[in-house]
Amino acid sequence: MKRISDLEKKYVLEVLDGEFKTSKGADFMTRFESKFAEVFHSSYAVSHVNGTATMHSALEAMGIGNGDEVIVPPLTMASTSLAVLHANATPVFADVDEDTFLISFKSIEKNITSKTKAIITVSLYGATPEMDSIMELAKKYNLFVIEDNAQAFLSYYKGKLLGTFGDCASYSFQSSKHLAAGEGGIITTDDEALAVKMRKMSGLGYSSIGSKKAKITKDEIQHPSFLRHDSLGWNYRMSELNCAVALAQTQRIEELVALRKRNAQFLLDAVQECRWLRPQKILQDCESSYWAFACKLNLDTVSWEDFRKQYLAFGGSAFYGAWQLTYLEPLFLENIFGRRKEFIAREYVKGLCPVAEILQPSIIQIKTNFINKEDAVFEANVLKKTIQYFDDILK
């Protein structure tokens, strides 16, 4: 098995053979969107240039902007919050659960105000938030829900496919993701009106594109009386080359996700007896797709730096720590928002999310995209040896 197979290469060559002629301009985009919608049990899928643009388009399509608040988790890639800023709205940070590492529905409710318009959930590392409780809050307060599932392809919450709960769900095809196309994103929904608006937001506001129509016809665009733009939009369209690769990856999704889950199981087995290194909790009756294998290190026992140093000494792959909490980045602490400062009434300071602030420095995230079983087993054995090394010291 290869991460990029002959199928991806075949589709890319088909695009190149078409010489980017406008008559073939959205062939793979249409095929890709149709297949992705089918796999993710959605009526509509709208491709984008990346998984940040998807969320920006969604927020704009929902009419969210100046003076509105969107609740987000602080423990994730900053793109989730940046999409809110792109819409001129205000990110409001809800704390996370100390065991699942995911946004807490209790903290969400505490942060809801009259200005709140939406919640963006993030399925960090492939695990699922408490979607039932979050959707109940959304219904109670009449809020939109955007699922940021960039790290969760074929994850399940209580037997139901993640991405089928909120008003829409966003996915990324950046090179580290389960499905990789170099770059790209897609957003799914069952709401046709929302799909149309998101398409227009991503396609320069062209008047004749729609929920499943990604391209203006030649007859339309060539006519001198054609009125092209009936709404504001951005140029967020995904390229045919990226769509060709993403289509092939979507057709291979079962094997690509199964690979990560297999590798995660080896790592889970390696840590099961350790008392000071606890893996991310997966909720009962839920299924993670393990974009990465994340654990919480007890820093009173072993420092993050010492653990990583010894892990690398035993031959393990270099692993990441968690992203700095978004609101602790200089962008937020120093209010580097340009003219957007006029719209944002929130102050971002240390102490907003105490659980996340304790958790973030302790997280290690080991990759799960090993193609060969032998490499995955080796990595798990390195993890086991590292744990044993510190256990011996601590005796």
**pLDDT at residue number 336:** 95
- For residue 50, being part of any structural domain is answered with yes
Mean pLDDT across the stretch 1-17? 95
Q: Specify the pLDDT at position 23.
A: 59
Per-residue pLDDT at 227: 84
Q: Is residue 313 part of a domain?
A: yes
- For the residues 76-105, what does the mean pLDDT come to? 98
Which sequence positions are flagged as catalytic?
177
pLDDT band, very low/low/confident/very high, at 208 (cuts 50, 70, 90): confident
Q: Look up residue 89 and give its two tokens.
A: 């709205």
- Quick check: 88 and 232 in contact, CB under 8 A? no
Question: H or E stretch including 374?
Answer: helix 373-394
CA-CA distances (angstroms) from residue 285 to 2, 47, 134, 143, 252? 31, 31, 17, 26, 25
| Closest C-alpha to 260, from 153, 368, 149 | 368
Residue 77's nearest CA partner among 288, 362, 360 is 360
Kindly report the CATH number assigned to the domain that includes residue 325.
3.90.1150.10
Task: Write the CA distances from 183 to 25, 50, 125, integer angstroms.
Answer: 18, 6, 19
Question: How far is CA 175 from each of CA 84, 140, 161, 171, rounded to the nearest angstrom?
Answer: 23, 38, 23, 12
Same domain, 242 and 259: no
Sign of CA dihedral 315, 267, 319, 298: negative
Res 25: pLDDT? 64
Could you tell me how many residues make up the chain?
A: 395
Does residue 21 belong to any structural domain of this protein?
yes
Task: Identify whether residues 132 and 157 lie together within a single domain.
Answer: yes
What gap in Å lies between CA 131 and CA 116, rounded to an integer?
Answer: 18
pLDDT at residue 221 greater than cutoff 80:
no
67 and 180 assigned to the same domain: yes
Q: Within this chain, do residues 231 and 326 fall inside the same structural domain, yes or no?
A: no
Residues 161 and 281 both lie in one domain: no
- Shared domain check, 246 and 344: no
Q: Which pTM was predicted?
A: 0.96
380 belongs to a structural domain:
yes
Question: Which pair of tokens denotes residue 173?
Answer: 């095809």
pLDDT of the residue at 218? 73
Instruction: Identify whether residues 10 and 143 lie together within a single domain.
Output: yes
Domain boundary among the residues 221, 253, 285 is at 253
Judge if 60 and 205 occupy the same domain.
yes
The residue out of 253, 271, 297 marking a domain boundary is: 253
Whether 89 and 64 have beta carbons less than 8 Å apart is answered as: yes
Radius of gyration of the chain (CA): 22
| CA angle 314–319–325, rounded 5-degree value | 145
CA distance 211 to 195: 5
| Predicted confidence band of residue 35 (pLDDT cuts 50, 70, 90) | very high
Give the whole-angstrom CA distance, residue 153 versus residue 163: 9
Q: Are residues 235 and 265 in the same domain?
A: no
Q: Are residues 99 and 61 in the same domain?
A: yes
77 lies in some domain: yes
Claim to verify: residue 235 and residue 269 sit in the same structural domain:
no
In this structure, what are the phi and psi dihedrals at residue 155, rounded to the nearest 5 degrees?
Answer: -90, 155
Note whether residue 319 is domain-resident.
yes
Instruction: Give the span between the Cα atoms of 256 and 146, in whole angstroms.
Output: 25
What tokens appear for 154 in the block? Answer: 């074929």
For the chain, what is the domain count?
Answer: 2
Is 1 inside any structural domain?
no
Whether residue 222 is found in the same domain as residue 322 = no
First to last CA, the chain: 43
- DSSP symbols for 210-261: -SS--S--HHHHHSTT---BSS---B-PPPHHHHHHHHHHHHTHHHHHHHHH
If pLDDT is split at 50, 70 and 90, which confidence band does 153 have?
A: very high
Question: Could you tell me the residue range of the domain that residue 75 belongs to?
Answer: 6-253
| DSSP-derived 3-state class of residue 332 | helix
Provide the 8-state DSSP code for 124: G
Q: What is the mean pLDDT of residues 238-257?
A: 97
* DSSP letter for each residue of 162-226: TTSSSSEEEEE--TTSSS--SS-EEEEES-HHHHHHHHHHHBTTBTT--SS--S--HHHHHSTT-
- Element at 320 (helix H, strand E): strand 320-321
At which of 253, 280, 298 does a domain end?
A: 253
C-alpha 183/C-alpha 172 separation (Å) is: 8
Question: Could you report the per-residue pLDDT of 257-309, keeping only the tens digit for each?
Answer: 999 999 999 999 999 999 999 999 999 999 999 999 999 999 999 999 999 99
Section 43-51 average pLDDT: 98
pLDDT (0 to 100) of residue 138: 98
Query: Which letter, b or e, does each residue of 12-41 get, where b requires 16 or more Cβ atoms within 10 Å of its Cβ?
Result: beebeeeeeeeeebbbbbbbbbebbbebbe
What are the φ and ψ backbone dihedral angles of 74, each rounded to 5 degrees?
A: -85, -20
- The answer to whether 145 and 139 are in contact (CB under 8 A) is no
CATH, residue 85: 3.40.640.10
Where does the pLDDT of residue 375 fall: very low under 50, low under 70, confident under 90, or very high at 90 and above?
Answer: very high
Is 25 within a domain? yes
